[in-house]
Homo-oligomer: A and B are copies of this chain.
């Protein structure tokens, strides 16, 4: 019986087995125990067993059509019998590729509803696998002094083939730095700074049209009969925030409605959303709120609770990101949902183009969000 190399060790079977190293003297020997940490079979082992050269086995794996069908079958059978899988390190060394894509993961944001990145990571891992890649996570340095240290290290040691960069807000040095190094990367997020200056993006990116999302949300509320719809967004220096805000004002102005006095720009915290909504309710009596994030929307829900108002009955609320919070909070928070699964697909697709020969540095892809309607509107 031919079994996988490690089964031999595990089950301690007394069988005629091939040893894992190509040691001719051991072939056909009886082994009561294999060493516990037996080294996996190599190309040479497979070759010997199949009666071909190492090269032929390599071809069977990487260029199967070069082999004669019967040879291929024989080699394949040996591969299966031995449970062979090419050694990654050796392959990486030879091909100068790791089939790993790096992604920096920041500290978990507590006290907010921001879980976009987590949902995205899931999707990215799934999609990468189909393209033959794994995702390598690395931490932000934590030190303000060198925000690109993690990237630098991975790049110089050729640990990853490419990066996925997720926080491409204006002034973020990573994209520019990676570009300068000619490091392959795809950004989840527009290159705001480049677009600002009317230039062409010089790197691949995928993004979701935030303005389209908030416009969708605002139209939804308008269709429900609301006229005084307030906006709670981020501070003016946030490009993403201003983009999302523009969707709200576009929808309002599109119906000939004024926006004066209905907007507020604050930090992205629950407390800020709570305070901003309280002020707006006092000053402008809105019947609905569109928010730049679920976090801010939760702040609105706090204010409504403070005042004995019920979301979805007295005042409508819409958030942004369709976080878990939006999904489970009573009575359900209507929220703009980013198509993160599709973002992942586009990111991987751009990555593949980037790593092809010759590399294709595609331009941007813009995706449109949807609206998850729930009890709050």
Q: A126-B139, A134-B136 are in contact. Are A9 and B298 (CB under 8 A)?
A: no
Which chain B residue lies CB-closest to A328? B298
Say yes or no for A147: interface residue by CB 8 A criterion.
no
Which chain B residue lies CB-closest to A122? B108
> Which of B87, B157, B323, B327 is in CB contact (< 8 Å) with A87?
B157
Q: Are A305 and B330 in contact (CB under 8 A)?
A: yes
Q: Give chain B residues whose Cβ lies under 8 Å from the Cβ of A108.
A: 118-119, 122-123
Say yes or no for A93: interface residue by CB 8 A criterion.
yes
Shortest distance between the CB of A77 and any CB in chain B (Å): 17
CA distance A305 to B375 in the complex (A): 12
Q: Are B327 and A329 in contact (CB under 8 A)?
A: no
Q: Are A330 and B121 in contact (CB under 8 A)?
A: no
Contact segment of A109-117, A203-211, A235-243, A252-260:
A109-117
| Total count of chain A residues near the partner, CB < 8 A | 67
Say yes or no for A105: interface residue by CB 8 A criterion.
yes
Q: Give chain B residues whose Cβ lies under 8 Å from the Cβ of A121.
A: 105, 121, 137
Say yes or no for A107: interface residue by CB 8 A criterion.
yes
Say yes or no for A348: interface residue by CB 8 A criterion.
no
Q: Are B83 and A87 in contact (CB under 8 A)?
A: no
Say yes or no for A181: interface residue by CB 8 A criterion.
yes
Which chain B residue lies CB-closest to A119? B108
> Which of B9, B153, B158, B324 is in CB contact (< 8 Å) with A323?
B324
16 extra interchain contacts, Cβ-Cβ under 8 A, other than A86-B157, A105-B122, A270-B328?
Answer: A40-B158, A83-B156, A87-B158, A88-B92, A89-B92, A89-B93, A90-B93, A92-B92, A107-B122, A110-B327, A112-B327, A113-B325, A126-B139, A135-B138, A136-B137, A302-B330
State the A residues within 8 Å of B (CB): 6, 9-10, 36-37, 39-40, 83-90, 92-93, 96, 98, 100, 105-108, 110-115, 118-119, 121-123, 125-126, 129, 134-139, 153, 156-159, 180-182, 270, 295, 298, 301-302, 304-305, 323-325, 327-331
